[in-house]
Structure 1
Amino acid sequence: MASSSSSSSSPAARCFTLTLFLLFTCSLAAPLRYQPSPSQLKLDSAKIAAKGQAERMIRSLNLFPKHEANVVFNDQSARDEPRISEKKISLNVSGGPVPSIQQFGHYAGYYSLPNTKGAKMFYFFFESRVNKTDAPVVIWLTGGPGCGSEVALFFENGPFKLNNDLSLEWNDYGWDMASNILFVDQPTGTGFSYTTDKNDLRSNEADISNDLYNFLQEFFKGHPKYANNDFYITGESYAGHYIPPLASRIFKGNKNNEGIHINMKGFAIGNGLTDPAIQYRAYPEFALAAKLISKSDHDSIVSELVPVCESDIADCNAHGGDPCLYGQDSCNSIFESILSIARDINYYDIRKQCEGSLCYDFSRMEQFLGDDNVKSALGVKDIDFVSCSSVVHNAMMGDWMVDYETGIPTLLENGIKVLIYAGEYDLICNWMGNSNWVNAMKWSGQQKFQGASTVPFMAGNTKSGELKSYGPLAFLKVYNAGHMVPMDQPKAALQMLQGWMQGKI
């Protein structure tokens, strides 16, 4: 899912909103003779901007979740029940290469997270359509932050596609054609994952990666026949923040002989946000090359906005705290400036235009997952589906500008394969920014990776991208794709996954 941090509103509109907020605040505080400090005003501005960004991101996908986050107060589930509760599911699926879904193991379940008041993580597990015994196990993480995994499941790389009439049909290029695949609703509060206490909502990657690591431990206990299979982490967008810490957590767990050894071989990030300083600096570069802005626009943004962004990111990574929130606001001003010039461009795919606030229409997913029969089949009882959570999005504000590239070199040095791929027409997490940070990353193979030749990436007989690789590191620019590569180029995405896991990329 998209890690949208953009705003289609003009700078004037933002100033007007901020002015109203300040007038309202000051009018209430006047009797107390309270004068907010400049740093407090800056922090309030960042919080207001973040809330607006979350709401715009959700509306741009034509999603209207019933709740801001899945926090429920009537959960009757006993805390002493099995840590993981799973059921085999059977949904009506038409077409495809097989006569019946009954031939496959499709599961939905809840995992009760330890060290929480009442958090439960929802997941889907689909056994491979090809060779479930030996196929790798892949976990997919959707971004946002705060969007459920079902966007990917039904519109990108899941085993079936959701049609306009709410029927399901087999996806010929689902990633279950190459793997046994998990789709997880996380962090807590997204999708069908929920908690009985808002204090369980996550705000940092340490907690998120521990939750996922603990889930995987319990999952492999429940499915021991897959525990020795190769394991890969995949995801897109804000998963560029989720994935490196999770890979590091698994590596640490394996090294320290914690619980079940997870046979992690690698991870892949699609159109991700991983190294903010380098990636935000690339926005004007990409926008100029794509002719979204003029050279004078580019130069103004680079001279006036980029230095403030870079300073805030440096402070964030050095000290944490409020500078991370300031950076979220100052850096997104770069993006917003580009959008104010490009107008109604779809920042997930610049080949397309947005109509008002609508850039994609995923609303049928909410309809489908809101159906009582579907919810009963999934075993979610009376939990409502929260497609994307603005509350979870806002809780992660302080995480946005943290650099997670720093943990990757250790993994590379220990033979963990890393694939960074990006659709060429995405603006929000564009290929230039991703290519720049991958090339700038310091590890023993850096110079040889930088000097490696770029070769065509072929999907069948079609040239579908440009590939550069050395040792365990690969970067792939995918042609004719935007932010969601498996949706735009499903055949190429499946071949990419297969080739990469087989060591051919």
Structure 2
Amino acid sequence: MNEEQKTAQGIKDKGQGNTAKEGVHINLKGFAIGNGLTDPEIQYKAYTDYALDMGIISKTDYDRINKVLLACELAIKLCGIDRLVSCIAPCLVCNTIFSRIMLVVGDSNYYDIRKKCEGNLCYDFSNMEQFLNKKSVREALGVGELEFVSCNPTVYQAMLMDWMRNLEEGIPTLLKDGVKLLVYAGEYDLICNWVGNSRWVHAMDWAAKQSFVGSAKVPFLVNGAETGVLETYGPLSFLKVHDAGHMVPMDQLKAALEILQRWTMGKTL
């Protein structure tokens, strides 16, 4: 079996551990992906479309930046075949698309295009850091004296090899087994924008794909007010959250809490 066949076999086996009774059974009922990078080949193509639609780049910028797309697609395919050797290259090639957009938009916050970027992470996480580093919270979480940080460079470096992998491939099996998935995205996030997230969700090949694609878009209401647009069929839901960037819970507190409560309690969104 060559490396490509091994990779294909590994993809086929993803998500089938419970069904095959391998190891300890995991009582998984559902999971959620919030403003995530799941299928890079689809999502990197969406950068310029989103930026043009939101008016932060011109059509001239759009055409110029899109010349990188072919090289990006080829690099991503190499990563899928041999991730140990070729997964850094697509990071360098494909992120040229994002960096060229940022050259146009300047100091805008790539997590929320309505704002300017302030600080290393473009968000103020000080309240969260103070809370999570309280002794009582650390004890409740069972983490001992470990200090919480908003972004750990060691973890970041360790995950670079996974950046450009297609992580959608294991999801259809989970949906088939009745595990629920909620994908949500704030509408003003550029770096993991809702357009790219919507596209990979709609492109995913699973048993009820056509029914999901044909499902109606309905308002997501919190206390009677529309805070997003929801598409759902069977175990799969996609939610575009209004007036929010990358960090939906920081921008839409009530909506995020409502999403969390309904989802974890198994209620209909």
* Shorter-chain TM band: 0.7 to 0.9
**What is the match of residue 494 of structure 1?**
257
- Secondary structure of the residue that 1:443 maps to in structure 2? coil
1:258 equivalent in structure 2? 23
2:153: which partner in 1?
Answer: 390
Of 327, 340, 344 in structure 1, the residue corresponding to residue 107 of structure 2 is 344
1:331 equivalent in structure 2: 94
Identify the residue that residue 435 of structure 1 maps to in structure 2: 198
Distance, in Å, in 1 between the alignment partners of 2:116 and 2:233 is 37
SS at match of 2:31: strand
1:217-266 deviations in Å (ceiling 9; x for gaps): xxxxxxxxxxxxxxxxxxxxxxxxxxxx9xx56x514641633x433211
- Distance in structure 2 (CA, Å) of the matches to 1:371 and 1:392: 22
Unaligned runs of 5+ in 2: 1-10
Q: For 2:236, which of 473, 487, 497 is the aligned residue? A: 473
Q: Give the whole-Å Cα distance in 2 for the aligned partners of 1:349 and 1:299.
A: 23
Query: By how many angstroms is 1:493 displaced?
Result: 1.8
Q: Which residue of 2 aligns with 1:319?
A: 82
Distance of aligned partners of 1:258 and 1:364 in 2 relative to their CA distance in 1, 3 Å threshold: same
1:4-43 to structure 2, matched below 5 A, reads: none
Alpha carbons of 1:383 and 1:411: their partners in 2 closer, same or farther (altered >3 Å)?
closer
Q: Which amino acid aligns with 1:441?
A: M
Could you tell me how far 1:416 is from its partner in structure 2? Answer: 1.3
What SS class does the counterpart of residue 405 from structure 1 fall into?
coil
- Tell me how large the CA RMSD over aligned residues is: 2.5
Contact persistence 2:125–2:150 (CA under 8 A): no
Partner AA of 1:256 in structure 2? K
Pick one of 55, 67, 83 that aligns with 1:291.
55
SS in 2 for 1:351: strand
Secondary structure of the corresponding residue to residue 108 of structure 2? coil
Partner Cα distance (2:217, 2:53) in 1: 20
Q: Residues 344 and 356 of structure 1 are in contact (CA less than 8 Å); yes or no, is this contact kept in structure 2? A: no
Of 460, 468, 472 in structure 1, the residue corresponding to residue 223 of structure 2 is 460
Secondary structure of 1:467's counterpart equals strand
Query: What is the identity, as a one-letter code, of the residue corresponding to 1:280?
Result: Y
Instruction: Give the secondary structure class of the aligned counterpart of 1:262.
Output: coil
Structure 2 letter corresponding to 1:252 = G
Give the residue type in structure 1 aligned to 2:31: F
Q: Distance in 2 between matches of 1:491 and 1:405?
A: 29
Higher relative contact order (CA 8 A, sep 6+): 2
TM-score (norm 2): 0.86
Correspondent of 1:301 among 29, 44, 65: 65
Matches within 5 A, 1:28-427: 252-253=17-18, 255-256=20-21, 258-259=23-24, 261-302=25-66, 304-355=67-118, 357=120, 359-366=122-129, 383-427=146-190
2:188 maps to amino acid:
Y
The 1:371/1:337 distance shift into structure 2, 3 A limit, reads: same
Give the match's secondary structure for 1:350.
strand
3-state secondary structure, aligned to 1:456:
strand
One-letter identity of the residue aligned with 1:419: L
CA change 1:372–1:316 in 2 (3 A) is same
TM-score normalised by length of structure 1: 0.47
1:51-94 per-residue CA deviation (whole Å, 9 max, x = no partner) reads xxxxxxxxxxxxxxxxxxxxxxxxxxxxxxxxxxxxxxxxxxxx
Number of the residue aligned with 1:5: none
Taking the aligned partners of 1:379 and 1:411, their CA distance within structure 2 comes to 30
Larger Cα-atom Rg? 1
Q: State the distance in 2 between where 1:419 and 1:377 align.
A: 28
Q: Does 1:485 pair with 2:248? A: yes
How far 1:373 moved relative to its partner?
Answer: 8.3
Letter in 2 for 1:502: G
- Evaluate the alpha carbon distance shift between residue 374 and residue 432 of structure 1 in structure 2; reply closer, same or farther with a 3 A threshold: closer
Supply the distance in 2 between the matched residues of 1:298 and 1:375 (Cα, whole angstroms): 47
SS state at 2:221 partner: strand
Aligned residue pairs, count: 256
Distance apart, 1:462 and its partner CA: 0.2
Query: How big is the shift at 1:323?
Result: 2.0
The residue type paired with residue 263 of structure 1 is N
Specify whether residues 255 and 354 from structure 1 end up closer, same or farther in structure 2 by C-alpha distance, changes over 3 A only: same
Q: Residue type of the partner of 2:244?
A: A
Question: What is the Cα deviation at residue 451 of structure 1?
Answer: 1.3
1:428 is matched by which residue type in structure 2? I
CA distance in 2, matches of 1:368, 1:463: 31
Q: Corresponding residue for 2:3?
A: none
Aligned to 1:492, what secondary structure does the other structure show?
helix
Provide, for residues 337-377 of structure 1, a one-character-per-residue CA deviation record: whole Å limited to 9, x for no partner.
11110001111111111146562222355556667787688
Q: Deviation digits for residues 30-68 of structure 1, max 9, x if unmatched? A: xxxxxxxxxxxxxxxxxxxxxxxxxxxxxxxxxxxxxxx
Aligned equivalent of 1:144? none
